Amino acid sequence: MSTDIKTRSEIGEILYHLTRDRLGLAGLIIVSLIVFSAILAPWIVPYDPIAMNIPDRLQGPSLSHLLGTDQLGRDTFSRVIMGGRVALQVAIPTIAGAISIGLFLGMIAGYGPKWLDTLIVLLFDTLRSFPTVMFALAVVALVGPSLNTVILVIMITSIPTYGRVVRTLTQSLRSSEFITAEKSLGASTTRILGVHILPNVLGPLAVLAAMDIPTVVGLEAGLSFLGMGVKPPTPSWGSLLNDGYSLIRNTPWLIISGGIPLILTTLGFTFLGEALRDVVDPKLRGRGGVK
């Protein structure tokens, strides 16, 4: 008998294998950097990110202002850090909401009767047919820009992404032999969905969510760039870009410091997602992806 029967927990197992993958490790480091700086933002920032200081406006990087200042003399570094907080404040509830609703609807569509499936798929397709940005602009025009509007709009348009994946997975699982075996041992529908299908769906969903966070962050930035997202003076990477865009001849620092965190977020979460994909499936674990 082999002696290396593992005793680690499921999460421990995933983390262990994640850190052994170079890309996964990079992703994990970048993501934790972003997350911790967002959580600890109020204690990290050297200046109040919305405090104006007109005499010091449009400065380049210096020791007192690491990334310089904007046209109102606000410290860019502080705004970048606080902007990350805003970005995650949008991304996390959005994704959490979209996953929960998508999971619920997707499992019903995949396991339930045909007419319900048709109905839910129709709903998904309708939602997907709205271009997110256009839809967001329309909603914002109606109710005015705010953080909550952004969250709601992006959440609604992200539901089909998750719902469709869950539906397809559920459909292929429902006819698999182990589900039949469970049924033959008397499992009820709730048991089958909750105990057997859910854990099979969660892995791919986690991967999808990790990959989707940059999209949501980007959308938030995009809407804020267009002035339809987070209301000024709340710092956001998008409004940083907007400020920097009009001042690009005077100072490139604004646009650089708004852009780099966006790129890092995209890279970090994508790396993490890619690595997660190889790791969440217990069967592929430790076999090493194609790197």
Partner 1 sequence: MNKPVLDIRDLSVSYNTPRGPLRALRNVSMKIPDKKIVGIVGESGCGKSTLISAIIRLMAPNATVGTGEILFKDKNLLDRTTTEMRNLLGVDISMVFQDPMQTHNPVLTVGKQMVDIQYRDSLPKADKRKRAAEMLSKVGIPDADARLNQYPFEFSGGMRQRIAIAMALMAKPSLLIADEPTTALDATLEVQVIKRLRELQEEVGCAILFISHHLGVIAELCDEVVVMYAGEVIEQGSVRDVFHDPAHPYTRALLDCDPGHIKEKTRNLPTIPGEIPDLVDVADGCIFQARCTHVHGACANRPNLQPVNVAHNVACHLNQTEGAV
d(Cα 291, Cα 283) in Å, to the nearest integer? Answer: 18
* Single residue of 11, 55, 283, 287 touching partner 1 by CB under 8 A: 283
d(Cα 137, Cα 170) in Å, to the nearest integer? Answer: 34
Residue closer to partner 1 (CB basis): 282 or 288:
282
Shortest reach from residue 276's CB to partner 1, in Å: 14
Residue closer to partner 1 (CB basis): 122 or 195:
195
Give the residue carrying structure tokens 């674990």: 285
Q: How many amino acids of this chain bind partner 1 (CB under 8 A)?
A: 25
Q: Does 7 bind partner 1 (CB under 8 A)?
A: yes
Residue closer to partner 1 (CB basis): 5 or 142:
5
Torsion sign over Cα 241, 242, 248, 250: negative
Q: Does 16 bind partner 1 (CB under 8 A)?
A: no
Q: Does 117 bind partner 1 (CB under 8 A)?
A: no
Site for partner 1 in 222-281 (CB under 8 A): 281
Residues 6+ apart with CB under 8 A from 226: 133, 137, 238, 242
Q: Does 190 bind partner 1 (CB under 8 A)?
A: no
d(Cα 230, Cα 219) in Å, to the nearest integer? Answer: 11
DSSP 248: T
Residue closer to partner 1 (CB basis): 99 or 173:
173
Site for partner 1 in 194-233 (CB under 8 A): 195-196, 199-200, 203
Q: Look up residue 201 and give its two tokens.
A: 């769906």
Give the number of residues written for the chain: 291
d(Cα 159, Cα 105) in Å, to the nearest integer? Answer: 9
Q: List residues near partner 1 by CB under 8 A.
A: 1, 5-7, 176-178, 180-188, 191, 195-196, 199-200, 203, 281-283
